[in-house]
Structure 1
């Protein structure tokens, strides 16, 4: 017990990623609290041990926070002047995303990106990160990755021309309001085309990120082969982040359900090769992360099966569970 307490003391000053309960489901420490010596003493008395997965990586939080603030300023300046701070994106934001994409605690980045404050800007950061992961998985060279990441940051720039009363509406949109929202890819295309240094494929990513393989998307109802690869990649990243995110008017979709729905959409609306490769890459990066389960328990991801990446092998309390064979047990969220 002394050794365990010694290890726990090293966590003083760290922020917990989740709410800590005792075995009677009594809350001991709220999520995102800074651990004090008193907290550690309480945990030790309750025989609760925390691991590195239970506390945040300050570097990851700082990277996400800095990226959100930078893109917020880019959008604000564009709304005021109509111009884009492309240098800020290339010199500051793209390197930040490059660093995040190689981070060992990518699961923590997901936790910070799904929070509902500053949603528009967290969404831009999330889409940039996930687009870069897809590009890396496709073996893109560095220059192409940087171009893709820049385009992903700007995919929703057209929303600066949409009234805040529509963008921030918590109730159902009217037909007229939804039609207005659906114009943001075209507005964005107009904005980026006026910016010196934006390539044609970056502009197409902005224009086409709501197009779908089956022709059901907008603004032009394009089908598979007519959609640029950048547009297909940003579409996948856009859908994924929107689904995992908490909003004032909706809860985040359970992580497993997101993966399942994206897996299904891979055979109709989203590019199947890119979607399946993204799911596999994402799950591989989450090996070692803790997840909450649909039975109320927690487990650690141990192994990802290529043939069924959304149902990994997990470990809980020394017992291993193969979710590909336990069909009524699912992952709910990353912890």
Structure 2
């Protein structure tokens, strides 16, 4: 099967000996695609090549077993520890601007180390089983937002700023009582109102610092606003929201829903995408969320999933007209097109 380079993913198998015009071998047949091979193919400006069909449904790439994921895991752990220390110091009565600089430096490091990481979304999802907190969530949101900025072809300085916006966006939650922030059950209306105040609390805290970009402060205040006016705290509509707040809102919602919480299990990414398809197109900026949806599910191609009929399957192909309902292959070899079988759905990602 001939495939365009943009659709070829890590873990697939090359179906041809590939040479340059001068006869130099780029890669032999049956080579498993790695991030390094993809970079090599781009270097030689390969636009398409033959892939082995079996590799599309019989090979699952275990991202957690790679050295790249282990490096990423260590990086996330160190980033969380650094962010924890810096944000906690900012909360003190007489905070030092050096902690602002530390977070800016952390943002630059995360951006540089992950701007070419084609498996970043899969790695972020895989990290959920290792840790979850305000700090880890903020690191993840910054990295997801930077990738969305890249997909939107934003200038590099704006993509870097998105990482910093992600790191700071939920700082107000550190001012919310822990018994509310970590409550395992449903919040009362009064508790929910206190929880919502984290946006204004975060803005007020950051607004004390002249060295913090005003766009970062605005994101802390507005990342729960929605384009249809149903968000908080200002109930702004899309025309009143800046692009940084809109992008962080998408990354924040996606990361939060796919993460485990004290009151629920993580929501399956395909269920989250279904939510974005049904409600997100008017709650979030349409051009941003469509770009996000068109890219995000490529991270879960070839993933092992559990279906609502209790069968285990592999994701074979994403349906662009129904992104949350792909073509899957079940263990007995049958294919199911979920876009035409509404009675069956993906309920869980499997290791």
**So what's the TM-score if we normalise by structure 1?**
0.76
Gapped regions of structure 1 (runs ≥ 5):
1-48
From 33, 56, 62, give the equivalent of 1:53: 62
Matches within 5 A, 1:72-221: 72-80=84-92, 81-83=94-96, 85-100=99-114, 102-105=116-119, 106-112=121-127, 114-115=128-129, 117-221=131-235
1:262-294 deviation line (CA, Å, top 9, x unaligned): 222223322222112111111123334333333
For 2:61 and 2:226, the matched residues in 1 are separated by: 40
| CA–CA distance in structure 2, aligned partners of residues 87 and 315 of structure 1 | 49
1:27-66 equivalent positions in 2, closer than 5 A: 52-53=61-62, 55-57=64-66, 58-66=70-78
State how far apart, in whole Å, the 2-side matches of 1:101 and 1:299 are: 31
Q: Is the 8 A contact 2:110 2:143 kept in 1?
A: no
Unaligned runs of 5+ in 2: 1-57
Instruction: Compute the displacement of 1:55 (Å).
Output: 4.5
CA RMSD of aligned residues (A): 2.6
Aligned position for 1:279: 293
Name the SS for the 1:124 alignment partner.
helix
Give distance in 2, aligned partners of 1:326 and 1:218. Answer: 37
| Residue in structure 2 matching 1:254, options 254, 262, 268 | 268
Kept after mapping to 1: 8 A contact 2:61/2:302: no
Matching residue of 2:306: 292
Q: How many residues align?
A: 286
Q: Does 1:270 align with 2:284?
A: yes
Aligned equivalents of 1:167, 1:83: Cα separation in 2: 26
Q: Measure, in 2, the Cα distance between the counterparts of 1:196 and 1:72.
A: 21
Preserved CA contact (<8 Å) 1:107 1:289: no
Relative to structure 2, which stretch is displaced further, 310-319 or 116-125? 310-319
Are the equivalent residues in 1 in contact too, given 2:60–2:304 (CA < 8 A)? Answer: no
Aligned partners of 2:169 and 2:202 also within 8 Å: yes
Check the 8 A contact 1:70/1:93 in 2, yes or no.
no
**How far is the alpha carbon of 1:146 from its aligned partner?**
0.6
Q: Which residue of 2 aligns with 1:229?
A: 243
Contact 2:226 2:237 in 1 (8 A): yes
1:93 and 1:100 map into 2 onto residues whose CA distance is: 11
Match of 2:81 among 59, 69, 72: 69
How far the C-alpha of 1:316 sits from its partner, in A, is 4.5
TM value normalised by structure 2: 0.73
